[in-house]
């Protein structure tokens, strides 16, 4: 479905003024390659400025790369833009595709004409999405009067009315409460499973990724750092565990040979270690009397934070 090979994109900006004016080159995407088959939901992760938005704009045809090969469903996005756009949907958490002053149902009717959707198919999709997303209570409400959760549900319906093969989701649950987030996640999972829609999900909410995407792409400074299964990422690179210790009494020096001391305060200490817990626990209890201790397994957020901070890049991880 999506094939990206040796993608490069550079931007040039002006610096200074008058006699001191110059130009600065920024490499937004550097030699990025990946393939996403039809029907897969993939998380595309990275800190702000990492290259996610540039990649998505190239995939949607809004930007032309400096070099590299990009095909989406056999089409080159910026060369076959009209046919390409007709086959994709997009939802951006900070922006809406609805007409601001129109009731939601009128926006959906206008989209039927924009995409030339047969009336019977439009009605069938409208009924399905109204049921799954509970659109009924606000179908006749102007977009400007919707809550954030209602608007996101309406935007999802609008993006899928024309049966796209590919769905781009950018921060789809940003600002939503727990209940609203889970409703949207369930719907996105349903769309991928039942309709075979390929989904590329860019988000800072790792709950979205864990709930929806079995595979993740991680980019930083324009370079793809990881491409693989989320479980593999956590199992292979989330090996650092934490040992939280409460000593029976304050200890003057909480340092323990063989363990990394992360913090220490008033008879409490936190250590990092790898491997089995038995040896670190024995080392700590031999160091000073212990009242309580807890071993915490690494979570996916901590693992990805390490990637952003460069630990895994320096180790040569791809």
**pLDDT (tens digit, 0 to 9) for every residue of the chain, 318 residues total?**
999 999 999 998 777 666 566 778 889 999 999 999 999 999 999 888 889 999 999 999 999 999 999 999 999 999 999 999 999 999 987 788 999 999 999 999 999 999 999 999 999 999 999 999 999 999 999 999 999 999 999 999 999 999 999 999 998 888 888 888 899 999 999 999 999 999 999 988 888 888 899 899 999 889 998 899 888 877 666 667 789 999 999 888 999 988 889 889 888 999 988 776 678 899 999 999 999 999 886 666 667 766 666 654 444 444
157 alpha carbon, distance to own chain's centre: 20
Is the same domain home to 83 and 187?
yes
Identify whether 302 is part of a domain.
no
Is the same domain home to 168 and 293?
no
Phi and psi at residue 22, in whole multiples of 5°?
Answer: -155, -170
Identify whether 174 is part of a domain.
yes
Is the same domain home to 228 and 250?
no
Tell me how far apart the alpha carbons of residues 182 and 85 are, in angstroms, rounded to a whole number: 28
Look at the alpha carbons of 227, 229, 234, 235 in this order and tell me if their dihedral is positive or negative. Answer: negative
Specify the number of domains making up the chain: 2
Identify whether 313 is part of a domain.
no
Phi and psi at residue 157, in whole multiples of 5°?
Answer: -60, -45
Q: What confidence score (pLDDT) does residue 50 get?
A: 86
Identify whether 152 is part of a domain.
no
Is the same domain home to 168 and 290?
no
Asked whether 241 and 306 are in contact (CB, 8 A), the reply is: no
Tell me which of 214, 235, 256 is where a domain ends. 235
Residues 6 or more apart from 41 whose CB is under 8 A from it? Answer: 188, 189, 192, 198, 199, 201, 212, 213, 214, 215
Residues 6 or more apart from 119 whose CB is under 8 A from it? Answer: 112
Q: Where are the beta strands (DSSP E) in the chain?
A: 2-15, 22-36, 41-45, 67-72, 88-92, 166-170, 198-202, 215-220, 223-229, 241-247, 260-265, 268-273, 290-296
Is the same domain home to 9 and 81?
yes
Q: What confidence score (pLDDT) does residue 41 get?
A: 95
Is the same domain home to 11 and 52?
yes
Buried b / exposed e over 280-318, threshold 16 CB at 10 Å, is bbebbeebbeeeebeeeebebeebbebbbeeebbeeeee
Q: What confidence score (pLDDT) does residue 52 get?
A: 92
Name the residue range of residue 264's domain: 240-297
Is the same domain home to 65 and 168?
yes
Tell me how far apart the alpha carbons of residues 132 and 7 are, in angstroms, rounded to a whole number: 38
Identify whether 259 is part of a domain.
yes
Is the same domain home to 204 and 259?
no
Strand order in the sheet with 241-247: 260-265, 268-273, 241-247, 290-296
Give Rg (Cα) of the chain. 24
Is the same domain home to 70 and 177?
yes
Identify whether 131 is part of a domain.
no
Is the same domain home to 248 and 286?
yes
Counts of helices then strands in the chain (DSSP H, E): 11, 13
Give the global pTM. 0.78
Identify whether 317 is part of a domain.
no
Overall residue count recorded for the chain in this entry: 318
CATH number of the CATH domain containing 66: 3.40.50.300
- Which tokens belong to 46? 């990275």
Identify whether 35 is part of a domain.
yes
Distances 47 to 113, 169, 205, 252 between C-alpha atoms, Å = 38, 16, 11, 39
Is the same domain home to 222 and 292?
no
Asked whether 41 and 201 are in contact (CB, 8 A), the reply is: yes
Is the same domain home to 75 and 186?
yes
Phi and psi at residue 53, in whole multiples of 5°?
Answer: -65, -40
């Amino acid at each position: 479905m999506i094939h990206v090979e040796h993608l490069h994109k550079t931007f040039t900006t002006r610096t200074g003024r008058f006699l001191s004016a110059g130009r600065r080159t920024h490499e937004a995407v550097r030699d990025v390659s990946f393939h996403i088959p039809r029907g897969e939901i993939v998380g595309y992760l990275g800190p702000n400025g990492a290259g996610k938005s540039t990649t998505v704009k190239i995939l949607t045809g809004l930007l032309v790369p400096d070099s590299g090969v990009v095909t989406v469903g056999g089409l080159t996005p910026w060369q076959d833009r009209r046919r390409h756009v007709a086959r994709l949907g997009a939802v951006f958490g900070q922006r809406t595709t609805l007409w601001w002053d129109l009731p939601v149902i009128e926006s959906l009717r206008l989209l039927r004409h924009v995409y030339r959707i047969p009336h019977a198919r439009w009605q069938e999709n409208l009924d399905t999405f109204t049921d799954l997303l509970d659109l009924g209570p606000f179908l006749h409400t102007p977009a400007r009067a919707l809550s954030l959760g209602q608007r996101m549900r309406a935007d999802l319906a609008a993006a899928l009315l024309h049966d796209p093969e590919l769905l781009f989701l950018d921060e789809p649950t940003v600002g939503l409460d727990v209940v609203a987030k889970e409703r949207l996640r369930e719907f996105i999972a349903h769309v991928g499973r039942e309709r075979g829609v390929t989904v590329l999900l860019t988000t800072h909410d790792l709950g979205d990724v864990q709930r929806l995407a079995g595979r993740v792409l991680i980019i930083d400074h324009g370079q793809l750092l990881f491409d693989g299964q989320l479980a593999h990422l956590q199992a292979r690179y989330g090996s650092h565990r934490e040992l939280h210790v409460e000593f029976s009494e304050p200890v003057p020096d909480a340092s323990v040979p063989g363990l990394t001391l992360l913090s220490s305060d008033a008879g409490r200490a936190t250590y990092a270690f790898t491997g089995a817990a038995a040896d670190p626990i024995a080392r700590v209890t031999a160091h000073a009397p212990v009242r309580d201790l807890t071993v915490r397994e690494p979570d996916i957020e901590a693992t990805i934070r390490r990637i952003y901070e460069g630990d895994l890049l320096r180790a040569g991880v791809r």
